[in-house]
Amino acid sequence: MKTKEELLKIYSAYLPYELECEYEFNSIVTKYSEKRIGKLLGVREQPFHSVSLLVDNKSNNPDYIKHSEVKPILYHLSYLTKEIEHEGETFVPVEYFEITDDHDSYPVEYDHGNIKLIKDLESIANHNSAFDIKFLPFEVVIKLIEWHFNVFNLDESEYINKATLK
């Protein structure tokens, strides 16, 4: 289980990439509660409360939710070698980094071209090894965060697997 400070650092890494999260909305006025899904917008310190996360609820007023009541919606690392959907596009992440003749492929080459990178990503996917993420190039890690992968090794109880979300 991650501490509050660790979770806030993790959530802040995803802020520029419109991370969706599930949270429990509780209305004090109507004494009603429901699970909602919204985009993480920011972090705010509330008076008399712990730190709250600002979540877009598709209305004019965003919800402020305690960090402990939010679960980010992320892909499990095993999905690096499986088809995912991001911003309306469907693709296999590891294939994005393969060298191709078209000029839309991943532009950074190192070691023996992208062959080592592909093998590293496949190994991470096969072993769910977030530990090995730190050995990847910075640009690759940022891309995995942008695609909402669980690169910070959150426990399965601390996030919702985006691939299994209905």
Please identify, among 32, 58, 73, the residue that sits at the C-terminal boundary of a domain: 73
Instruction: Kindly tell me if the per-residue pLDDT of 111 is higher than 50.
Output: no
Instruction: Kindly tell me if the per-residue pLDDT of 91 is higher than 90.
Output: yes
In terms of domains, do 33 and 8 share one? yes
Burial tier of 114 (Cβ tally within 10 Å: 0-12, 13-18, 19+)? buried
Q: What is the mean pLDDT of residues 10-20?
A: 94
In terms of domains, do 79 and 144 share one? yes
Instruction: Kindly tell me if the per-residue pLDDT of 86 is higher than 60.
Output: yes
In terms of domains, do 149 and 127 share one? yes
Between strands 160-161 and 70-74, the pairing is parallel
Residue 107 domain boundaries? 75-164
**How many domains are contained in the chain?**
2
